[in-house]
Structure 1
């Protein structure tokens, strides 16, 4: 990934609704979702959803598969990994041992029923 593609991808994700839609599609994995499901999940009007999906698609972060009259959207995991690789390239002068973070689960990623009280 080059700088221009990274900027386009990050700009597409720099909106709360688009970031939420993208994260949801990442959660769904290869199954993806139809626009009607996304509109219902996020309570977004169809025209607004279409605008957001177009921005994510233009950035290469999602892919659309036409199925008869329906379109299923999926996260493009190769593009996501390319963006992460671009952002972390040459981390700590190329010595990842110096900057590799500990793997931690964010508190908001832990299901409520599993959190300690």
Structure 2
């Protein structure tokens, strides 16, 4: 089970995602998987200037949602899947209150996702 993030961490992550370009960057990186995407490609895909993108990536990184690595002269960014799992766990940890039918659609969505088969 993922380590539970605290309220301040969750607020920081949600705040980082509460911007259209940052949310678009994060979703792009989630789709890319562990392979990640070069900064220049992210800039083109999302339609933001490289200097603006740098700010957005820093905010997402400080929120624990994005990580980077250097490959030659390129910086490759990828979603921090542990940070994403921790945030999602925090958001649904109190779900249901003893009524599993409330959260059942979330489980169905996770099971239906091609990237996340049930274990």
- Please report the TM-score for the alignment, with normalisation by the length of structure 1: 0.82
| Higher relative contact order (CA closer than 8 Å, sequence separation 6+) | 2
Q: 1:89 matched to which residue of 2? A: 93
Q: 1:36 matched to which residue of 2? A: 40
Asked whether 1:20 is paired with 2:36, we answer no
- Please report the TM-score for the alignment, with normalisation by the length of structure 2: 0.80
Asked whether 1:4 is paired with 2:8, we answer yes
Query: Which secondary structure state, in structure 2, belongs to the residue aligned with residue 91 of structure 1?
Result: coil
Please state how far the C-alpha of 1:69 moved relative to its aligned partner: 2.5
- For the pair shown, the structure with the greater C-alpha radius of gyration is 1
In structure 1, the gaps of 5 or more residues are 105-117
Residue-pair matches, total: 103
Q: Tell me which moved more, 95-104 or 28-37.
A: 95-104
Q: 1:78 matched to which residue of 2? A: 82
CA distance in 1: counterparts of 2:99 and 2:61, whole angstroms: 31
Q: Aligned in 2, Cα 1:99/1:36: closer, same or farther, shift over 3 Å?
A: same
Which aligned runs of 4 or more in structure 1 are off by greater than 6 angstroms? none
In structure 2, the gaps of 5 or more residues are 110-119
RMSD: 1.4
